[in-house]
Amino acid sequence: MTSARKVKTTQTSVRIIEAVRDHDGATLAELTEALEYGRTTLFNHLRTLQEERLLTKENEEYQIGLRFLKLGEYAHNRRAEYTPAKIQVYRLAEATNEEATFAVAENGLMWTINYVMGDANPSNPEAGSQFIQIGSSYHTHNSATGKAVLSQFSNEKVRSIIETYGLPGMTEKTITDESELFAELDRVRERGYAVNDEELHRGYRSIGVPVVGIDGGVLGAFSVGGPAYRFELTQPRIDDIVGVLSTSLERVEEAMRHEREQRENDTGPDDNTGINDES
């Protein structure tokens, strides 16, 4: 089968949208300076994106349009299994007073679907990981959620992800050697959880566990984390966090089983209800 070629016009539109986001709004002049496209090309794309309500114009500045809210909400909730996971993120944050996330793998990257910050520092309620929010993406090899998900993949699939994205070092603690990563994944499989010891971001630690669907496919991963100065990776602390994470896993599995039973009672058994590990 002939491989599809990239459509440059579509790539241009995507890069313009991302540039508008990165600049927190931008004028035509600012985009002309930031991107390699000519002024006329940019203007035509901006006008089209505005007519499609993907961008809006406030005075002379272009901003991301609210149409993305509907698209984002659809992506956020398109799988029924995301709902019980979302509920558990809130419970994890409440139970640990730490930051809790649920992330999924898509096209070789991790994407944060849900993020809730616990009340770990009442004197500074705005404190939290500025690099993690709903919709943030990161590599699979340098985070607790990513390594938890990779532990459920075959070695062949992990190598395919490495070939595409490499093993970039985000900090001095990031695993950048393939053999070292596979050894780490073996440890994750053996103990049932993954650890991020300032590998994704300096000064941040977390513990993650894979969320596996009732048909055996990996759905995503939960994590609980916080600033390294107080989120210690000592065994008593790890045991406590893993215990809370395990409870959330049990609740998600129970919710998924219940949802399947209801569906089968309504429509009969469905042989096509498997959960894929990636889109």
List, for residues 87-137, the tens digit of each pLDDT value.
Answer: 999 999 999 999 999 999 999 999 999 999 876 454 444 455 666 778 888
Q: How far apart are CA 141 and CA 110, in angstroms?
A: 10
Check residue 240 and give its pLDDT.
Answer: 94
Class of residue 256 by CB neighbours under 10 A (exposed 0-12, middle 13-18, buried 19+): buried
Q: What is the mean pLDDT of residues 146-154?
A: 96
User: Residue 279: what pLDDT?
Assistant: 40
Q: What is the pLDDT of residue 275?
A: 43
| Distance in angstroms (rounded) separating the CA atoms of residues 255 and 249 | 10
Residues 6+ apart with CB under 8 A from 262: none
Task: Say if residues 144 and 221 touch (Cβ distance below 8 Å).
Answer: yes
pTM score of the predicted model = 0.80
Q: What is the mean pLDDT of the chain?
A: 88
Print burial letters for 80-92: b (CB count within 10 Å at least 16), e (below 16): ebbebbbbbbeeb
How far apart, in Å, do the first and last CA atoms of the chain sit?
21
What does the pLDDT read at residue 209? 97
pLDDT at 147 over 70: yes
**Per-residue pLDDT at 250 exceeds 80:** yes
Q: Could you tell me the pLDDT band of residue 260, with boundaries at 50, 70 and 90?
A: confident
Judge whether residue 4 has pLDDT over 80.
no
What structural domains does the chain harbor? Answer: 8-70 (1.10.10.10), 79-267 (3.30.450.40)
Q: Which of 199, 79, 69 is nearest to 135 (CA)?
A: 69
Which tens digits make up the pLDDT trace of 49-78? 999 999 999 999 999 999 998 988 888 888
What proportion of the chain, given as a percentage, has pLDDT over 70?
90
Q: The tokens 């349009």 sit on which residue?
A: 65
Lookup result for tokens 């539109």: 13
pLDDT > 80? residue 187: yes
The mean pLDDT of 147-174, rounded to a whole number, is 96
115 to 86, 133, 135: CA distances (angstroms): 9, 6, 9
